[in-house]
């Protein structure tokens, strides 16, 4: 009785301080509503699970959900609101940690990529959209569906790079090959993509053959550090890949881009960035959750560090476009599509991984919507002669 009364007092104090869209059901049948409207039900089936609610953060609450120590019902975006509220109002203030700097060897990076991307192509197809583009879409009105917005993104990248027939084009971290196929089909380039995911490699080449693009388009199973040669490509894109590079490896990464780019060539780096000027992990334990369950060894630089390292590598930055709102909308649509296909998703993965993906997609939509992280497209050029400027005077050409 004393233990239960302590729980009741804590719940009453929380409700007074910060009403949440949450009902809590305990193992003994007692229920507590933390707000007038409670679309989310949190079931705590055993007293042992209460340890996750002592000084909670998103990492601890996420672990409790992923590992099946608690059950949650309700719209997933409301679940994230409730989890953030519990973390802010029950957890103790914590100082931001140092950047999570780890060793990024070829073997370690390949293992991390395969952990994330080799779930199954059929699973990703349930929510990614027609072109299987797993990166931020591009919205002109905010009302487009995911297929229209991803087609706009692919074309936006090609226009930014000023692709023309005959260009040698490299896409680093090409995913399922949508950008190289789009560039070869619509812009007449000679397109090469590289990935570390065996599933993506197989799928991309199957689509290339099916679309009759085999003479102008190819995808290789290759690490960016192992692309051979110098000054091989007129244009290079890296979309949603450098998050896996590691902060210490940014000089190696941008150095590889410069080495592979021809003089007068154009490169575009599209990637998620930290909003913390010191490139520290996302607060409230969100970064710890991502590292443990979603992107092992992922590290996000602040855009200032990106620009510094590109300049140090000899790449002159010409344009920076922030797409934070675009990625919030992209992730919200992905999350909605997965939620509408949960039954089918269970035939392609187990319950634990499905819980990871539900929390991850909804959580990232929440993070981008609320400015916890950002994302930029950074356009740069390589030129031995600063007077030989490879881009027009204004940005008009990007939007025509």
Q: What is the pLDDT along the chain (400 residues), one digit of tens a residue?
A: 555 677 777 777 888 887 899 999 999 898 999 988 999 999 999 989 989 988 899 999 999 999 999 999 999 999 999 999 999 988 877 666 556 566 666 666 656 555 555 578 899 999 999 999 999 999 999 999 999 999 999 999 999 999 999 999 999 999 999 999 999 999 999 999 999 999 999 999 999 999 999 999 999 999 999 999 999 999 999 999 999 999 999 999 999 999 999 999 999 999 999 999 999 988 899 989 998 888 887 899 999 999 999 999 999 999 999 999 999 999 999 999 999 999 999 999 999 999 999 999 999 999 999 999 999 999 999 988 888 788 999 999 888 7
pLDDT of residue 94: 66
Distances (CA, A) of 105 to 63, 92, 111, 227, 281: 27, 36, 10, 15, 21
The pLDDT assigned to 160 comes to 97
Structure tokens at 141: 């009105």
Catalytic residue among 136, 158, 174, 364: 364
pLDDT of residue 127: 96
SS3 361: helix
Do 2-90 and 106-399 agree at the fold level?
A: no
CA gap 359, 242 in Å, rounded: 23
Q: Which fold has domain 106-399?
A: Rossmann fold (3.40.50)
Is this model's pTM higher than 0.85 or not? Answer: yes
Inter-CA distances, 329 with 134, 251, 323, 371, Å: 13, 32, 10, 13
CB 102 within 8 A of CB 246: yes
Residues with Cβ within 8 Å of residue 85, at least 6 apart in sequence: 18, 20, 22
| Six token digits for residue 316 | 């002159």
**Encoding tokens for residue 74?**
């309700």
Does residue 359 contact residue 366 with C-beta atoms inside 8 Å?
A: no
Catalytic residue status for 364: yes
SS3 content of the chain, % helix, strand, coil (to 5): 45, 20, 35
Return the DSSP state at 189.
Answer: -
Q: Please, are residues 144 and 152 in contact by the beta-carbon 8 Å criterion?
A: yes
| Helical H segments across 18-105, by residue range | 58-66, 76-90
Strand locations in 110-245 (E): 168-172, 190-195, 217-221, 233-239
Per-residue model confidence (pLDDT) at position 4: 65
Q: Structural domain boundaries of the chain?
A: 2-90, 106-399
pLDDT reported for residue 89: 87
Report pLDDT for 104.
60
CATH topology of domain 2-90: Nonspecific Lipid-transfer Protein; Chain A (3.30.1050)
Q: What's residue 106's pLDDT?
A: 67
């Amino acid at each position: 009785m004393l233990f239960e009364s302590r729980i009741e007092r804590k719940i009453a104090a929380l409700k007074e301080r910060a009403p949440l869209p949450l009902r809590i059901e305990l193992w003994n049948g007692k229920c507590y509503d933390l707000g007038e409207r409670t679309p989310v039900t949190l079931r705590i089936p055993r007293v042992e699970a209460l340890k996750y609610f002592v000084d909670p953060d998103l990492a601890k609450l996420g672990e409790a959900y992923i590992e099946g120590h608690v059950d949650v019902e309700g719209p997933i975006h409301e679940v994230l609101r409730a989890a953030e509220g519990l973390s802010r109002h029950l957890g103790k203030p914590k100082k931001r940690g140092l950047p999570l700097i780890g060793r990024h060897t070829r073997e370690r990076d390949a293992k991390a990529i395969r952990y994330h991307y080799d779930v199954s192509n059929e699973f990703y197809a349930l929510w990614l959209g027609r072109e299987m583009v797993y990166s931020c879409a591009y919205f002109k009105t905010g009302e487009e569906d995911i297929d229209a917005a991803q087609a706009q993104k692919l074309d936006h990248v090609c226009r930014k790079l000023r692709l023309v027939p005959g260009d040698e084009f490299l896409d680093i971290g090409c995913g399922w090959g949508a950008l190289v196929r789009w560039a070869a089909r619509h812009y007449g380039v000679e397109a090469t993509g590289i990935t570390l995911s065996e599933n993506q490699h197989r799928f991309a080449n199957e689509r290339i053959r099916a679309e009759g693009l085999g003479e102008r388009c190819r995808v290789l199973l290759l690490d960016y550090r192992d692309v051979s040669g110098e000054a091989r490509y007129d244009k290079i894109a890296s979309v949603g890949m450098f998050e896996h590079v590691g902060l210490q490896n940014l000089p190696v990464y941008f150095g590889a881009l410069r080495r592979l780019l021809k003089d007068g060539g154009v490169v575009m780096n599209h990637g998620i960035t930290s909003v913390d000027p010191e490139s520290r992990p996302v607060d409230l334990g969100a970064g710890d959750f991502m590292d443990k369950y979603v992107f092992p060894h992922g590290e996000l630089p602040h855009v200032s560090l990106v620009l510094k390292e590109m300049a140090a590598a000899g790449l002159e930055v010409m344009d920076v476009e922030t797409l934070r709102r675009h990625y919030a909308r992209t992730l919200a649509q992905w999350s909605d599509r997965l939620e509408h296909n949960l039954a089918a998703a269970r035939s392609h993965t187990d319950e634990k991984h499905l819980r990871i993906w539900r929390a991850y997609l909804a959580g990232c939509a929440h993070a981008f919507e609320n400015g916890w992280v950002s994302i930029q497209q950074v356009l740069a050029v390589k030129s031995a002669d600063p007077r030989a400027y490879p881009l027009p005077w204004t940005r008009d050409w990007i939007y025509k």
